[in-house]
């Protein structure tokens, strides 16, 4: 972990009481990255995935991005938007970060996007990809290496169409991302939605909803239950003997929660643009070295953050290391001239990726660990539905 | 009364430091961001201290009133109404009305039940805000513009905003101190210490308490307006019981029964919260025990501690 | 809604209520007898779940894990009492809130430092892996029924202990008027310690039972704590009977509200809006119920304290 420097983050409050402002000299030929990853609270596992993925990327790049020595300032958003704003402002104004990278949750992204982009600093989200900034709200200083949330949910809608499911039961948490999930799913699913159930984000027990599912006898269920919600749901789904109903999900069974779901999740479906078993040279190197370094299976949070490091490296290199030349950096980022662990990867006009989406299935590996594996490609070179509204040139 | 002088002197010193900070090399934006957070939360804590220390009403829903003010800014902003001549009256009326409605029921209860019923109202406000899909729902809402003052975009000026927050904090402190010293404040304190006696002299404590609750809620709502402007962002989390709890901690940490304690408590709380995470990701393992030690060994909070050292 | 579905939902509500009761019972006794607000009661539930998970993994058996977790939770409760809580009994409520919140912060983070932030998995014991079919298409897991029975048995045992034994009489007397009990020559400190440790063990027991159903993760006690407080306030502080009835009210309101509210809203709104507002209202329902009950009975349903 000697890649992380806390020097920049020190000083702060105590320095404020004793000494006058500390001067932060820009290290000659260096580049400073503010890495936003949640480290407190129940979702910290996702933040750790993101952080480790980015650090893995740096390690493969020998600690340099585009030839410049990289210094990482860790920012824990605590999953509180106002805390995130304060900390990110500090990273920009005091630590003079050249890039802000990371962000697991879209509500944090919404909170920090204005302070970052108004400071003419590039914000590279490696996970959150809300629709707000994909269409009319697209931004010349904002890129995402993940996807637009709607795309992932629409993959399941497409799968249900392909499989000929007529009646699908939908269950999501009652918050913005949950409502977006339903909209994304319905954008491609034309059959009957038997029931839409919205559960509170603090839901522990799904017994009431499972009884509803059993009563509705659907052809399949579509659900989006991130983090601990998914752990509870998957195990209770199995316990209730409902596993014969196809379980199609997004962000519900992934490598971040599989260690807790274990056998209960085997055979359940998910959708994503990446899986650990994807067969390309960049991915094999990433997964092998990641597992060796951190001793757990990487999830998409890690893979996309790894791609984020590679993207930065390629962009800075193309711009000849001139960080102040924002147009050159932007051109370098748009080119996306790096070998993605997803294979096929380029940016659309709105700086959201144009990529393939896959149907995944949870499997138990020979070494007893669990991972998602590709079943088939569902959407190819998919452009998110909002890109057309983006007026950016 | 050496105690009183010491804590007031210390608070004045802190406020003077805040006033001079931009001139003494702490004018960089990140310092101003931190100071704004300190001053706004301190103002909200002062209003809560007035309620808890003055009227004996320990509300665990104070952040909800603050959130109502913040949401007034956000909702008006979504309809492109950003001038202070509209925002301020709407925020004041909304926060006062919210406090009046919830207070009218809550003040019928006492002690722990009061804590719990205010928590319940806070949670209701939280869930209501979460379901406001046009204004961001759970994700929160990013403001297009800071509030304008008669059409001028003064709040965008970091220095102006700094002194605005400082002025508001001073106003809260002075106003609450004035209220506590008035006849109204004396009835409140008497009702806290001996409700029966107050009733016997012909005062029903209920309307006095309700008025105190509404005043404190309105001040918190105003703090919410500033908070929304400081972060340019509003989220349901502003109303959650965790934030209410933090306000309570600031009050107790500083010392209950002295308004200046709330200011010192807020300063200490925010500084610790900002500085500790730099030491370790497990900073809460330090922060938690610090809170426990503060309660065990600093009876009466910071102020009690300072007073005891002197006396 | 069919009768079968309604029955299952009612059963779910009862089961949530029972689990809440196990947590709330200790809380209300500690509160009633010692006049001590213990926010850290929720982390004792979490610790129970973690101890259960760790010991079950170490011994290879859920039952052995349960057997060892109970005394471990008890000892941990005693340790906390001696180290921290004992020094807080004569302090005001807000100081207690602040200090016990410090305990929550510490333990939530400590658990994360030891076991990691990712949720842990506790397998359902093999004996109770199957389910019974209460309505077509749905297996009702035997484990949940076992939890329900264990909870009811504990509630009965607790009732017997509190209402029919000398110890229980002292506890009840302590809840009504602690100084008087002390004046009559009872070692109130020891009584406090006993009640406290017992409450911690009950919360830990609930945690172990919850392990195989819910995910075991840092902070899992916080939500339960708030609900448990709602329960004891509705039930009346210090009253075991009140806590039991209130726990069932809260469990049923929450579960039935979640499944009925969206349908109810559909009478007034279009389906999609009805589902969303219904869900939002359902989350609020428990708090609305509490506010309503307190508005009419400011001291809860069965207040124990006389004065």
Distances (CA, A) of A260 to A37, A42, C118, C122: 21, 13, 7, 8
Question: Residue C156 is part of which domain span?
Answer: 3-218
**How many other C-beta atoms are found inside a 10 Å radius of the C-beta of residue C80?**
22
On whether any CB of chain C is under 8 Å from the CB of A12, the answer is: no
Using a CB-CB distance cutoff of 8 angstroms, which residues of chain C are in contact with residue B290?
Answer: 102
pTM to 2 decimal places? 0.82
Q: Could you give the number of structural domains in chain C?
A: 1
CA distance A144 to A150: 14
* CB burial readout A66-87, b (16+ within 10 A) else e: bebebbbbbbbbbbbbbbbbbb
Q: Which of C37, C79, C91, C95 to mutate to test the interface with B (most CBs of B within 10 A)?
A: C95
In a domain, C168, yes or no: yes
| CA–CA separation, A349 and B157 (whole Å) | 34
Is C130 among the domain residues?
A: yes
* Alpha carbon distance A162, B28 (integer Å): 57
Our CA-based measurement puts residue A19 at a distance from the nearest CA of chain B, in whole angstroms, of 10
Which portions of chain A are predicted below pLDDT 70? 1-28, 41-42, 393
Residue B243 CA to chain centroid, in angstroms?
10
Euclidean distance between the first and final Cα of chain C, in Å?
46
List CB contacts (< 8 A) between C135 and chain A: 211, 214-215
Per-residue confidence band for B41, with pLDDT thresholds at 50, 70 and 90:
very high
CA A135 – CA A108 distance, rounded (Å): 19
Give CA–CA dist B286/B242, Å, rounded. 19
For residue B278, the chain A residues in CB contact (below 8 A) are 6, 9-10, 12
Summarize pLDDT for C132-188 with one digit per residue, the tens. 777 777 778 888 889 999 999 998 998 888 888 888 888 778 777 777 777 777 777
Distances (CA, A) of A239 to A178, A261, A263, A264: 24, 12, 12, 8
Sheet holding A30-36, edge to edge: A64-65, A68-75, A30-36, A99-102, A122-125, A142-144
User: For residue C121, what pLDDT is reported?
Assistant: 76
Pairing of strands A30-36, A68-75: parallel
CA–CA distance from B134 to each of A64, A176, A205, B79, C216 (Å)? 43, 10, 29, 11, 35
Residue with tokens 């301190």: B42
Interface confidence (ipTM) of the complex: 0.80
Q: Which two tokens stand for residue C251?
A: 């469990």
Hey, are the CB atoms on C124 and A239 less than 8 Å from each other?
A: yes
Angle among Cα C115, C120, C126 to the nearest 5 degrees reads 135
Establish if B23 touches chain A: CB-CB under 8 angstroms.
Answer: no
CB atoms within 10 A of CB A196: 23
CB of B144 within 8 Å of a chain A CB? The answer is no
- Asked if residue C244 is part of any domain, the answer here is no
Question: What residues in B contact A130, CB-CB < 8 Å?
Answer: 139
Nearest to B46 by CA among B241, B266, B273: B266
Domain boundaries, chain B: 6-310
Residues 6+ apart with CB under 8 A from B143: B73, B74, B77, B228, B229, B232, B233, B234
Residue A228 half-sphere exposure toward CB, CA atoms < 13 A:
24
A140-190 residue pLDDT tens: 999 999 999 899 999 999 999 999 999 999 999 877 788 889 989 999 999
List CB contacts (< 8 A) between C214 and chain A.
Answer: 204-205, 232
Q: Scanning the structure block, which residue is given the tokens 């890109």?
A: A387
Which architecture characterizes domain B6-310 according to CATH? Answer: Orthogonal Bundle (1.10)
Residues whose CB is less than 8 angstroms from the CB of residue A162 and which lie 6 or more positions away in sequence, other chains included? A378
CA distance A108 to B65: 23
Q: What is the DSSP letter of C28?
A: H
Using an 8 Å CB-CB cutoff, list residues of chain B that contact chain C.
Answer: 52, 58, 105, 108-113, 115-117, 119-121, 123-124, 127-128, 130-131, 133, 241, 245, 248-249, 251-253, 256, 282-285, 287-292, 294-296
The whole-angstrom distance between A144's CA and the closest CA on chain C is 25
Reported as a single tens digit per residue, the pLDDT across B52-103 is 988 889 898 999 999 999 999 999 999 988 899 999 999 999 999 999 999 9
Pick C279's closest partner by Cβ from A198, A241, A259: A198
- Tokens 């979640």 correspond to C258
Note whether B131 contacts A6, CB cutoff 8 Å. Answer: no
**What is the tens place of the pLDDT at every residue in A281-340?**
999 999 999 999 999 999 999 999 999 999 999 999 999 999 999 999 999 999 999 999
- Cβ(A151)–Cβ(A357) under 8 Å? yes
Q: C185 CA to chain B: closest CA distance, Å?
A: 28
């Amino acid at each position: 972990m000697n890649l992380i420097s806390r020097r920049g983050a020190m000083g702060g409050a105590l320095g404020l009481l004793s000494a006058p402002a500390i001067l932060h000299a820009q290290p000659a030929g260096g580049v400073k990255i503010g890495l936003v990853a949640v480290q407190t609270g129940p979702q910290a596992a996702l933040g750790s995935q993101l952080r480790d993925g980015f650090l893995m990327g740096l390690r493969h790049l020998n600690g340099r991005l585009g030839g410049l020595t990289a210094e990482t300032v860790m920012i824990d958003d605590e999953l509180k938007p106002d805390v995130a704003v304060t900390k990110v402002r500090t990273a920009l104004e005091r630590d003079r970060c050249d890039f802000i990278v990371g962000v697991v949750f879209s509500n944090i992204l919404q909170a920090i996007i204005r302070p970052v982009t108004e400071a003419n600093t590039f914000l590279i989200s490696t996970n959150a990809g809300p629709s707000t900034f994909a269409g009319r709200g697209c931004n010349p200083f904002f890129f995402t290496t993940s996807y637009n949330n709607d795309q992932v949910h629409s993959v399941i809608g497409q799968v249900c169409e392909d499989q000929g499911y007529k009646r699908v039961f939908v269950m999501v948490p009652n918050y913005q991302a949950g409502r977006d999930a339903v909209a994304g799913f319905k954008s491609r699913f034309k059959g009957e939605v038997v029931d839409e159930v919205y559960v509170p984000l603090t839901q522990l027990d799904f017994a009431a909803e499972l009884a509803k599912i059993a009563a509705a006898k659907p052809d399949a269920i579509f659900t989006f239950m991130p983090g601990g919600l998914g752990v509870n749901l998957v195990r209770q789904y199995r316990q209730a003997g409902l596993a014969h109903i196809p379980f199609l999900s997004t962000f519900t069974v992934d490598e971040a929660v599989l260690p807790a779901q274990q056998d209960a999740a085997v055979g359940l479906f998910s959708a994503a643009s990446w899986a650990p078993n994807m067969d390309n040279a960049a991915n094999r190197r990433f997964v092998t070295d990641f597992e060796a370094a951190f001793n757990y299976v990487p999830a998409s949070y890690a893979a996309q953050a790894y791609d984020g490091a590679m993207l930065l490296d390629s962009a800075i290199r193309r711009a000849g290391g001139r960080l102040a030349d924002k147009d050159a950096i932007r051109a370098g980022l748009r080119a996306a001239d790096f070998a993605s662990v997803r294979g096929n990867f380029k940016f659309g006009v709105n700086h959201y990726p144009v990529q393939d989406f896959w149907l995944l299935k949870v499997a138990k590996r020979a070494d007893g660990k669990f991972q998602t594996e590709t079943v088939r490609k569902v959407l190819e070179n998919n452009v998110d539905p909002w890109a057309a509204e983006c007026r950016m040139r | 009364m050496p105690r009183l002088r010491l804590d007031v002197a210390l608070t004045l010193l802190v406020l003077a430091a805040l006033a001079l900070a931009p001139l003494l090399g702490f004018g960089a934006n990140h310092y101003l961001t931190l100071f704004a957070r300190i001053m706004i939360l301190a103002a909200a804590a002062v209003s809560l201290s007035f309620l808890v220390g003055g009227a004996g009403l320990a509300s665990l829903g104070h952040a909800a009133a603050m959130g109502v003010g913040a949401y007034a800014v956000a909702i008006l902003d979504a309809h492109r109404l950003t001038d202070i001549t509209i925002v301020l009256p709407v925020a004041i009326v909304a926060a006062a009305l919210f406090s009046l409605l919830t207070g009218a029921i809550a003040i019928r209860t006492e002690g722990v039940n009061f804590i719990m019923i205010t928590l319940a109202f806070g949670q209701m406000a939280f869930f209501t805000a979460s379901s406001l899909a046009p204004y961001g729902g759970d994700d929160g809402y990013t403001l297009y513009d800071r509030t304008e003052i008669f059409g001028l975009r003064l709040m965008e000026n970091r220095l102006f905003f700094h002194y605005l927050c400082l002025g508001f904090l001073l106003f809260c402190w002075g106003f609450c101190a004035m209220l506590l010293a008035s006849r109204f404040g004396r009835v409140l304190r008497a009702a806290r210490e001996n409700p029966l006696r107050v009733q016997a002299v012909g005062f029903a404590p209920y309307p006095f308490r309700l008025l105190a609750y509404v005043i404190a809620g309105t001040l918190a709502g105003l703090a919410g307006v500033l908070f929304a402007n400081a972060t340019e962002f509003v989220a349901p989390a502003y109303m959650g019981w965790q934030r209410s709890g933090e306000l309570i901690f600031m009050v107790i940490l500083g010392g209950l029964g002295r308004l200046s304690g709330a200011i010192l408590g807020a300063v200490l709380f925010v500084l610790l919260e900002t500085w500790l995470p730099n030491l370790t990701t497990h900073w809460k393992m330090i922060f938690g025990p610090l809170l426990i030690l503060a309660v065990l060994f600093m009876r009466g909070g910071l102020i009690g501690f300072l007073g005891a050292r002197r006396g | 809604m069919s009768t079968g579905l309604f029955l299952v939902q009612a059963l779910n509500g009862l089961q949530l209520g029972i689990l809440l009761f196990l947590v709330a019972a200790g809380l209300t006794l500690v509160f009633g007898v010692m006049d001590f607000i213990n926010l850290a009661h929720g982390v004792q539930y979490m610790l129970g779940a973690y101890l259960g998970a760790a010991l079950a993994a170490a011994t290879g058996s859920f039952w052995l894990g349960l057997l060892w977790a109970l005394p471990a939770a008890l000892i941990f409760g005693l340790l906390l009492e001696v180290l921290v809580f004992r020094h807080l009994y004569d302090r005001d409520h807000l100081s207690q809130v602040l200090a016990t919140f410090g305990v929550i912060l510490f333990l939530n983070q400590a658990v994360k430092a030891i076991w990691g932030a990712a949720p842990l998995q506790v397998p359902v014991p093999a004996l109770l892996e199957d389910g019974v079919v209460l309505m077509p298409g749905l297996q009702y897991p035997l484990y949940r029924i076992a939890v329900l029975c264990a909870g009811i048995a504990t509630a009965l045992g607790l009732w017997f202990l509190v209402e029919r034994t000398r110890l229980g009489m002292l506890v009840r007397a302590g809840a009504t008027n602690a100084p008087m009990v002390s004046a009559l020559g009872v070692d109130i400190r020891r009584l406090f310690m006993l009640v406290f440790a017992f409450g911690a063990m009950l919360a830990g027991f609930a945690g172990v039972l919850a392990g195989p159903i819910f995910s075991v993760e840092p902070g899992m006690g916080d939500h339960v704590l708030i609900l448990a407080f709602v329960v004891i306030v509705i039930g009346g502080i210090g009253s075991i009977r009140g806590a039991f009835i209130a726990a069932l009210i809260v469990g049923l309101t929450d579960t039935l509200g979640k499944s009925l509210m969206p349908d109810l809203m559909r009478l007034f709104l279009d389906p999609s809006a009805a589902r969303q507002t219904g869900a939002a209202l359902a989350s609020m329902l428990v708090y609305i119920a509490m506010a309503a009950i307190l508005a009419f009975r400011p001291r809860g349903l069965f207040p124990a304290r006389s004065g």
